């Protein structure tokens, strides 16, 4: 039986229109997003449930890598071709941008927890290491979130001149530094501490405060400020 044969009030799209997206399960939301009629033997909702089961969670599915040169995610994602993969990635990126835009108009990032919540949403599932900067106004409201460097964080890859240049261009009064550890462990290395000191000293020369440096990983989000490392 296809979804078209279901009672109208049980179809995912009709439920969304009648009751809002919050009323749908993860599988129903995926079915709406992916569209189509599923695959042979499975309607769209059943296929979405199967994808969630294979990846153990919604996060596992949305962060699943695609093998370069293929047109699907392989046997772990039966029925999810390149078009479906692109829809999922676009939806995730739209959610990230919507959240960032809301934060710019929202409450200030005036505590490590507020910053932690923001950064976990932005960086936790990124498969490569990114060094980022949150540029803040004098009330600690977010002006912009910029990805500045990609790759292993060390003295050679993070250039203080570029960080200072971008902070001045954003007219920032303060910054919060951040990067992720794809390894999954949010513990600072000696290189992390050295880079933090160099950037703080460089930014002090132009009267821009470094409020924190945060490391995002699977096991949490570490704050240099809370650790007494600033």
Hey, is 127 helix, strand or coil?
coil
For the segment 67-108, what is each residue's pLDDT rounded down to a tens digit? 555 555 554 555 577 777 788 878 877 777 776 665 555 556
d(CA 54, CA 133): 35
CB contact at 8 A, 148 and 133:
yes
Q: How many CB atoms lie within 10 A of CB 16?
A: 16
Whole-angstrom distance, CA of residue 116 vs CA of residue 222: 8
% of the chain with per-residue pLDDT over 90: 27
Looking at the DSSP assignment, which residues form a beta bridge with residue 174?
Answer: 136, 209
Q: CA–CA separation, 130 vs 182, rounded Å?
A: 9
| 179 or 123, which is more confident | 179
**DSSP code at position 151:** S
The Cα–Cα gap between 211 and 119 comes to: 14
Domains of the chain: 3-94 (no CATH), 108-227 (3.40.140.10)
């Amino acid at each position: 039986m296809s979804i078209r044969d279901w009672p109208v009030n049980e179809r995912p799209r009709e439920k969304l229109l009648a009751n809002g997206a919050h009323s749908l399960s993860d599988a129903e939301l995926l079915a709406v997003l992916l569209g189509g009629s599923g695959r042979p033997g499975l309607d769209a909702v059943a296929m979405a449930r199967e994808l969630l089961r294979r990846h153990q969670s919604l996060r596992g599915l949305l962060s699943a890598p695609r093998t370069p040169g293929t047109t699907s995610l392989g046997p772990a994602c039966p029925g999810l071709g390149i078009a479906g993969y692109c829809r999922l990635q676009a939806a995730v990126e739209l959610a990230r941008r919507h959240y960032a835009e809301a934060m710019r108009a929202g409450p200030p990032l005036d505590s490590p927890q507020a910053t932690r919540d923001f950064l976990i949403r932005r960086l936790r599932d990124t498969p490569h290491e990114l060094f980022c900067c949150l540029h803040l106004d004098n009330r600690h409201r977010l002006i912009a979130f910029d990805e500045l460097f990609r790759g292993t964080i060390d003295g050679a890859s993070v250039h203080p001149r570029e960080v200072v240049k971008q902070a001045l261009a954003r007219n920032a009064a303060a910054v919060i530094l951040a990067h992720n550890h794809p390894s999954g462990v949010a513990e600072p290395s000696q290189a992390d501490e050295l880079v933090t000191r160099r950037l703080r000293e460089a930014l002090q020369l132009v009267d821009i405060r470094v409020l924190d440096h945060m490391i995002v990983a699977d096991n949490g989000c570490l704050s240099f400020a809370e650790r007494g490392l600033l």
